[in-house]
A and B are shown apart, each in its own frame.
Chain A
């Protein structure tokens, strides 16, 4: 068990240190999110927000998924570029740890970008109108990020060994994000006043947790099949 813990820590440390040195992902994801928000703001009618904050919240979640997809495109890039998989694969480890470390690293990157993105979102969309519940939004974000990262690490593993991977990754990934966005949007939008009664926030947060659990288990079990050529 301590051996597995050491494996996991070493792999996670490697992923984080590589990002800290290359600064490849987080700045690009942040710039992308910012540009997307501005684009959405003008798309929703510049001066007067068409559809109000409800439409904006929907676009926020779509922006989060696109941002995650962009980040995933570079997942395992270091390993691909100089055949480094051969080194990792020749090690006597449970390969699920590679997946787990990558999931945690992606989760960390998403959270860092969102910490910067949320105030910008508030400035651009929410300061004139009613806002969704902040705490519900945070809870939904954390749960959704976990699901996006867990599934993303697996799908990025699949796409990384395939022709035209940059094109294929969104194709493989986006169908899975639809249920997540659907529930996250309905959850967040319903906390915007005036609230409709009888709406289950706990139920929807529960769904997000279920999503994380399900794809977490599938990612853990299936990852060992996606690495080898």
Chain B
């Protein structure tokens, strides 16, 4: 086993009650690699990303994120991972600024990073508006700003292209073009992403190349 891999799953199983969502996933993602994960609804894409994002414990099997084995060393892995879920993971009743301030505090990021992040995703003029007033595209951009606020080495994106407006689409491409970062994208629309990225199919809780 080399130290070049960012993510490693071996025989990863995750069950919800009697239902098996991940049924022995074997996966190895090198540092700096971009992986596009496709599969039908309910195939296990979101579950796999949530396990890698350390928010869902594996039922059994081995999961290593940047050298930290889950779930025991999850806390050491968390600063290194950015997770943009299917939902934007922001409080609708708070403003964009307040949401990012909260996450900055949780991730130990200096407060100055928040206006910069808002600026980068083009939301600086709307920073003091409540998120409940945002369009789907603005929410997606805010979600990307939130997930990358702490400059993670590993980025996990669940359906990042759905509902994205033109500005957000350019932003996503810009994010993906940054070198050195490991990215796993779960999507229905693999053609949207760089043809050079490795494509994986997840079906009935198993990953195949």
Contacts and interface: CB of A to CB of B under 8 A. Distances in A.
A85 B55 contact: yes
Given A10-B105, A10-B106, A82-B87, A91 B93 contact: no
Interface string B82-118: 0101111111111000100111011110000000000
Contacts of B16: 229
B181 interface: no
Interface residues on A, range: 20 to 34
A14 B54 contact: no
B51 to A, nearest CB: 11
A85 B108 CA distance: 18
Contacts of A45: none
B194 to A, nearest CB: 25
A118 B93 CA distance: 31
Contact of B89 (A10, A13, A86, A92): A86
Contacts of B31: none
Contact of B83 (A6, A13, A21, A86): A86
A18 B90 CA distance: 12
Interface string B36-70: 00000000000000100111110000000000000
Contacts of A7: 105-106
A83 B81 CA distance: 18
A74 interface: no
Contact of A90 (B53, B91, B98, B105): B53
Contacts of B78: 90-92
A93 to B, nearest CB: 5
A84 B91 contact: yes
B75 interface: yes
Nearest to B56: A229
Contacts of A78: 91, 93
A228 B53 CA distance: 12
Contact of A86 (B50, B105, B130): B50
A182 interface: no
Contacts of B83: 86, 90
A197 interface: no
A88 interface: yes
A3 interface: yes
Interface in A63-122: 78, 82-93
A174 interface: no
B91 A228 contact: no
Contacts of A84: 87, 89-91
B79 interface: yes
B146 interface: yes
B50 A18 contact: no
Contacts of B57: 228
A9 B111 CA distance: 14
Contacts of B54: 89-90
B106 A83 contact: no
A228 B55 contact: yes
Given A7-B106, A10-B102, A91-B78, A18 B91 contact: yes
B93 A92 contact: no
A74 to B, nearest CB: 13
Contacts of B106: 7, 10-11, 88, 91-93
6 contacts: A10-B102, A18-B93, A86-B55, A87-B103, A91-B106, A228-B57
Given A84-B89, A86-B83, A90-B54, 18 more contacts: A3-B108, A6-B105, A9-B105, A14-B102, A17-B94, A18-B94, A84-B90, A86-B50, A86-B85, A88-B106, A90-B53, A91-B78, A92-B75, A92-B78, A92-B106, A92-B107, A228-B55, A229-B56
Interface of A: 3, 6-7, 9-11, 13-14, 17-18, 21-22, 78, 82-93, 228-229
